[in-house]
Amino acid sequence: MNHHVLTHFDAKGQAHMVDVGDKANTRRVAVARGRISMLPGTLALITSGSAKKGDVLGIARIAGIQGAKKTSDLIPLCHPIGLTRVAVEFDIQDSSVVCTATAEVNGQTGVEMEALTAVQVALLTIYDMCKAVDRGMVITDVKLLEKHGGKSGSFVAGRPTA
């Protein structure tokens, strides 16, 4: 695979959806992560479950899963895929909530965009639910941690790629 070609453009430079019809159905997994930093008091509201709108992380988890399922509606050239699993997890670190999302499919195209979308939507939901007390929250460090499956094989952040 030539990693120096933007596959979402044809020979004339026009955007198109990549043809995955000849690709093998394989198990594909992607893991993404991001963080939202906030004031310590905002984090205390989240962890105590006393935020005015209720269970912030529970709702953000469902939102992240929903975001993964809606990825092809949001990203114009993404294929709609039949996800077999989406998991959204949260860790508290310093004055931040770190979100990790895992997306899986048995299909012809990868799930990197679904994992990344799950993280973004979950973090945006936290922002939405807490903005009344902290409009200065910052979403950062959203990235693909790893992906496995398909013709291009595995990618793990921080490791050299072939």
Q: Is 128 a catalytic residue?
A: yes
Backbone angles phi, psi at 156, to 5 degrees: -130, 125
Token reading at 119: 């993280």
Which candidate in 55, 91, 128, 134 is catalytic? Answer: 128
Tokens 């039949």, residue located? 82
- Catalytic positions, please? 128
